[in-house]
Structures are given as C-alpha cells and as structure tokens.
Amino acid sequence: MEDRIIPYYLIFLMLGSHISIYGEVQGSGFRSWAKEQSLKLSLTGWARKASDGSIEIFVQGEDESVNSFISLCWDGPSFSHVDDVLVQDANPDESIKGFEIY
C-alpha cells in the first residue's frame, strides 16, 4: 500500500464544524436544504435530527466555504424559523466523502 502525501497547505485549509440549529427546524426540509447548500459549497458531512428538536450538522471543507455555510444556517430553508445556531470546531474526517442525511 502506497502512503499518501498531503501537501501542508491542504491540512491548514481543511476545517470541520459541528453545528446545532435550534428553532422550528425539524419538518421544514432543513436537512435536505443543508445537503443542497453543502454541495454548492463543495463541503462534505452529514445532517440528522436531534432528540431535543434541533438539527445537528457536521460539515468539513475549506474554511471559507464552512464559514459561508454557517452563515447560511441562520436563514435556513423558507419553512424553517431559526432561533439559534451553535458552532463547535471539529476535526475533519477523511472517511466522509459526500453529504449524508440521517
């Protein structure tokens, strides 16, 4: 098996974020919307419903794209009403290749 060499500048540009979105967000198409936005921004990750009524999202990619995605989450899809967006830095996960909805 051949070792992959990752250029140092790619390591520093890759950012991961765990995002929790609160408000009237479940049943609004938020997870599908998140997938659509992530694909437009060339991000990978996942979205799922949380037991407390929020939406949890993990995204990773270039820092500028991740920050743009986070900004978009404050508006969300038209049928949602976002009260709060909490963001935690996370380590990127190389095993994630697309965007999954759970």
What does the domain layout of the chain look like in residue ranges?
Answer: 15-101
pLDDT (0 to 100) of residue 69 = 98
Residue 18 has pLDDT above 70, yes or no: yes
pTM recorded for the entire structure: 0.86
**Cβ-based neighbours of 64, under 8 Å, separated by 6 or more:** none
Tell me what percent of the residues of the chain surpass a pLDDT of 70.
87
At 45, phi and psi to the nearest 5?
Answer: 155, -150
Give the full edge-to-edge strand order of the sheet including 99-101. 81-90, 14-24, 55-62, 44-49, 99-101
User: Stretch 25-49: mean pLDDT, rounded?
Assistant: 96
Residue 62 has pLDDT above 80, yes or no: yes
pLDDT, mean over the chain:
91
Split at pLDDT 50, 70, 90, the class of 31 is very high
**Helix or strand run (H / E) with residue 49:** strand 44-49
CATH class of the domain comprising 15-101: alpha beta
Residue type, 28: S
Tokens representing residue 39 in the block = 């694909």
How many helices (H) and strands (E) would you count in the chain?
A: 3, 5
Residue 61 has pLDDT above 60, yes or no: yes
